[in-house]
């Protein structure tokens, strides 16, 4: 670790992830910027941070980067492995490249921005996070999503929004198929306003008028004995 121009630098070729996370959890002492060098796909970088600190990961990150984030602004200057920003409750995580499976899984709040594509199950079981994807999302994205919003600037794969609850998905491109209980609904003025704000916050240059709204039909909310277990 060395201090350069008030930016704390950790080189993960010289110091392990446990040491970095221990510092972020216990010994920031008012530091507001941390730069992580040579991440080289290491897992669990900047997990469980609960401080208003800006963290730049200068390269690709492995599993669960910025998981359980609270308050921090984490930027990954590369791609992210499975579970990026999993369980996040506040703050901001920005992936400059692509994200692997389960991005933003079970996250309660904050904002996740992915400049490229996101793989399968983006936003699975999300509970309040806002996710903006500059590219496309894979199959089963927003599976069992309970609350929050996803903006997809590209296309969506199979079973989008399967078993969706109160989360809302905005899609600009094509949808290969909708999951159980998900369907397209008319956009309202408040939807256009929400998409415009989310795109602005994510610094992604798309037009809100090009998006469609996907939400739950709510037919799965109560068991229907007459459905013969078919929905």
* Two structure tokens written together for 33: 């910027």
Please report whether residue 146 resides in a domain.
Answer: yes
Give me the pLDDT at residue 29, please. 86
pLDDT averaged per 10 residues in sequence order, the chain, 231 residues: 66 96 92 96 98 97 98 98 98 98 98 98 98 98 98 98 97 98 97 98 97 94 65 49
Please report whether residue 106 resides in a domain.
Answer: no
Domain co-membership, 155 together with 189: yes
What pTM was estimated for this model as a whole? Answer: 0.94
Give me the pLDDT at residue 49, please. 97
Dump pLDDT digits (tens) for 52-90.
Answer: 999 999 999 999 999 999 999 999 999 999 999 999 999
Number of domains in the chain: 2
Domain co-membership, 212 together with 129: yes
Q: Measuring CA to CA, how many Å separate 29 from each of 8, 37, 48, 51, 208?
A: 12, 21, 17, 10, 42
CATH code for position 206 = 2.160.20.60
Give me the pLDDT at residue 12, please. 97
How many secondary structure helices (H) and strands (E) does the chain include? Answer: 2, 12
Q: Which residue has the tokens 């609904």?
A: 185
Domain co-membership, 137 together with 169: yes
Burial 133-143 (b: 16+ CB within 10 A, else e): bbbbbbbbbbb
Domain co-membership, 79 together with 122: no
Please report whether residue 192 resides in a domain.
Answer: yes
Please report whether residue 44 resides in a domain.
Answer: yes
Please report whether residue 226 resides in a domain.
Answer: no
Please report whether residue 225 resides in a domain.
Answer: no
Q: Does the CA dihedral 220-221-227-228 come out positive or negative?
A: positive
> Which structural domain, as residue segments, surrounds residue 208?
117-220
Q: Which of 39, 59, 93 is the last residue of a domain?
A: 93
Give me the pLDDT at residue 129, please. 98
Q: Which of 93, 127, 158 is the last residue of a domain?
A: 93
Domain co-membership, 203 together with 128: yes
């Amino acid at each position: 670790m060395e201090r350069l121009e008030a930016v704390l630098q950790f080189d993960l070729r010289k110091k392990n992830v446990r040491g970095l996370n221990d510092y972020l959890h216990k010994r920031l002492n008012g530091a507001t910027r941390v730069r992580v060098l040579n991440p080289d796909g290491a897992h669990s970088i900047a997990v469980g941070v609960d401080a208003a600190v800006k963290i730049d990961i200068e390269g690709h990150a492995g599993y669960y980067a910025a998981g359980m984030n609270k308050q921090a602004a984490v930027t990954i200057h590369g791609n992210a492995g499975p579970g990026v920003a999993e369980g996040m409750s506040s703050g901001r995580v920005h992936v400059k490249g692509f994200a692997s499976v389960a991005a933003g899984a079970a996250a309660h709040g904050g904002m996740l921005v992915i400049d490229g594509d996101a793989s399968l199950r983006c936003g699975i079981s999300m509970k309040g996070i806002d996710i903006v994807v500059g590219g496309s999302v894979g199959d089963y994205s927003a599976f069992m999503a309970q609350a929050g919003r996803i903006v997809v600037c590209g296309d969506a794969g199979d079973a989008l929004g399967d078993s969706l609850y109160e989360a809302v998905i905005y899609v600009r491109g094509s949808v290969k198929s909708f999951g159980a209980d998900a369907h397209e609904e008319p956009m309202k003025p408040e939807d256009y306003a929400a998409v415009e704000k989310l795109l602005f916050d994510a610094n992604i240059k798309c037009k809100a008028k090009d998006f469609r709204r996907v939400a739950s039909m709510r037919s799965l909310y109560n068991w229907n004995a007459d459905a013969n277990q078919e929905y």
